[in-house]
Amino acid sequence: MKFLNKLEKKFGKYAIKNLMYYIIMLYALGFVILLVKPEIYTNFLSLNAAAIMSGQVWRIFTYIIYPPTGSLITILISLYFYYVVGTMLERQWGTFRFNMYFFTGVLLHAIAAIVIYLVWGVVLEMGTYYLNLSMFFAFAAMFPDMQVLFMWLIPIKMKWLAWIDGIYFAATIVAGFMSEYLSVNMIYRLYNFGIIANKAYAVMALMSLLNFLIYASTFRSVQRLAPKEVYRRKCTNRKWRRHRCRKICLVINVQYVEEQRKILRIWSFVIVQNVRGITNIVRNIYLPINTLKNYKCLS
């Protein structure tokens, strides 16, 4: 998008590098606050549209400290997964575009909360669940063939997980806007599958999907690189090195001597009761990490 290119030239220097590192730190802070004194988050930091309309505008951004929910193991897995996803997206898109994608999602969530409050009079204090899902959609679009291991054994490609999430989003949106025509029994069955038939949740899911669709056209213009290729280019771009001998050496060759592929597999042994819980846990990625053992220099 030409508009993004113009913005990047003008404001790119203000982009936050390693944004997901700071977001994970905020999640950790939010976890401590909710553990020690949760009323601090509810009274001063949550995404409360009524409070925002009364002048507490800082809530538009402070709600993002709300961490993923679940057991401690599930939270740690989710934090690691979101850090990996965000870091890889930033390497592919660049710091500025990833910042734009993330903070656009933050603003759209705030707008959705305000719209819900003005139209239906409901104060829906949403966390970052749908925001993180929109980031997952972007990751699946960039790396559709990357695999996760289900139960440590069954490889599943990211694109299939994205389709599952897409079906979940579509069901949430349709069920939310059609909730008036659904029976109580049907609403209860949908709830057992993790689908809440409520217009407020439908608007929130729609805004999250909108964030993905706004930037979907930019995915085609970005060259997809494997994590190994990103690391290789990072190394080879450093052509000139200065040693203690004060001589400048030219790196003419980078070799992966005795290259090892370390696979990080993470799995949470947590009992889940619905499809939503299963898809959350399945999103555990294994990454090949290539370690650089040696390189040759010409002095």
**Dihedral angle sign, alpha carbons of residues 209, 213, 218, 224:** positive
pLDDT of residue 54: 92
The residues, any chain, with a CB within 8 Å of residue 237's CB and separated by 6 or more, are none
pLDDT of residue 121: 87
pLDDT of residue 154: 79
pLDDT of residue 41: 94
pLDDT of residue 293: 34
pLDDT of residue 150: 67
In the chain, what is the straight-line distance between the N-terminal and C-terminal CA atoms, in Å?
44
pLDDT of residue 133: 87
Going by C-alpha positions, the residue among 215, 47, 244, 251 that lies closest to residue 134 is 215
pLDDT of residue 73: 85
Give CA–CA dist 58/64, Å, rounded.
Answer: 11
pLDDT of residue 19: 95
The residues, any chain, with a CB within 8 Å of residue 167's CB and separated by 6 or more, are none
pLDDT of residue 185: 92
- Nearest 5°: the CA angle 265, 24, 127 is 105
pTM of this structure: 0.72
- The pLDDT averaged over each successive group of 10 residues in the chain (299 residues) is 82 92 94 93 93 94 89 85 91 91 93 90 85 89 82 80 89 90 90 86 88 76 52 48 40 32 35 43 38 34
pLDDT of residue 228: 52
**Dihedral angle sign, alpha carbons of residues 86, 92, 95, 101:** negative
Could you tell me the domains of the chain?
Answer: 2-164+203-226+276-290 (1.20.1540)
Helix or strand holding residue 242 (H, E): strand 240-242
Give the bridge partners for 288, in sequence order.
Answer: 263
- Is the CB of residue 199 less than 8 Å from the CB of residue 118? no
Q: Can you list the alpha helix ranges (DSSP code H) found in the chain?
A: 2-11, 19-36, 38-40, 49-53, 59-62, 72-93, 95-120, 129-142, 158-177, 184-192, 199-221, 227-236, 275-282
Give CA–CA dist 170/177, Å, rounded.
Answer: 11
pLDDT of residue 40: 94
